[in-house]
Structure 1
């Protein structure tokens, strides 16, 4: 289980003159600080999938980076199965599997070597790494290119390998930042099936996406962030109930209502 309560994060604007007109109009800009995340709260229980939604620039990626310990929040708390992520970041990282939108692979290493390297960083034994790579190759359809250098991988190959290295240590919570962006239909379906498998194992999964059909297929809960604040956080049924037509209208209704 992961519990997020009133997270906040601001950044110093080094050169305000370089801000675009749109950035100048953003209400989160206060003096020399941009309050990317002002107040975000939600929770995801064991065996649940939570879809994190919001317009571009809403604060989703900043939020996920704070959950992963990559960023230190200015306020708020994150607790994973009783472990405070902010107070004990090293212990929390052992419990987390995190895929960011910008995560890369070491191009000169094969897919297998990339995954094994991250397994060693988590202190896994070589036999355990080998067995886990075989398991993940089956689940993510990696066998065909597992022993090729990753610099020659397609987008889909890279993303599936990135997911494998993020979960090689069997994390207790998995966080994925737009995991299917840029993937073809077959690769995206493999990733979605993998998320379904995590759900069956009781692993909480949080993933950000702009694809509402993925939310409809996978999610138990939905959280909508806009301008750095939680606008909605409830069950998928409650989210669907915001509109009589579609999830797109539910999303737009949430944003418009709060605006």
Structure 2
């Protein structure tokens, strides 16, 4: 019987039978795994407050022979990220992020760098005032870490720099990013080169410094449409949490922090080439 001790983030949990819980984890050493927490529903002593969403755990996992799923033997709470569940805006973006980890990472595919990035993102979300640009950059940086990175500063067809491209500049999800005036077909809407360069800078800069981009709400919304179309084309699915983020962080609320707001109703309702660097967290 194999035993593992690793740091883990709680992605989701489900009640199982009368006394157990099924826990989905993203771990530092094993990647994404599912495990049964025996007796977690019946006894508060085995996992006291540890199996809540977003929690960072020091987990001991057991992989019994001939079993189809691992067992969570014990878990110590390393960091609870309480601010993520006590503020609706932070909670929405964190759900968005956790859904990406749960849907776009492979089972038992360890990526310690991605794990450390994930913990860093949750740290930022716990500290920063939530807004649509923060949500957009979390999406873009995370999927860049996973290998889905749009071409934003050079033509995806000929490689010409967009700063030097003559005429209109288009953004083509099919081509993988920006297309210069010479290569464009005119079928895609024109996009300001300055917006594309700002997005590239946003991917590379720390999330805490995003205000330096000075993007107005209409520009953020335009960027959302471009990048969400790109990811739908290349990934083929819609993120369920996207609508929750948009509803929670409408542009009329972008600058309004809502600390301490009760998120219980929302929580009840929710629940190409190789990867390129996605910049600093």
Question: Fold match, TM over 0.5?
Answer: no
Which structure has greater strand proportion?
A: 1
Q: Which has the larger radius of gyration?
A: 2
Which protein has greater RCO, CA pairs closer than 8 Å, 6+ apart? Answer: 1
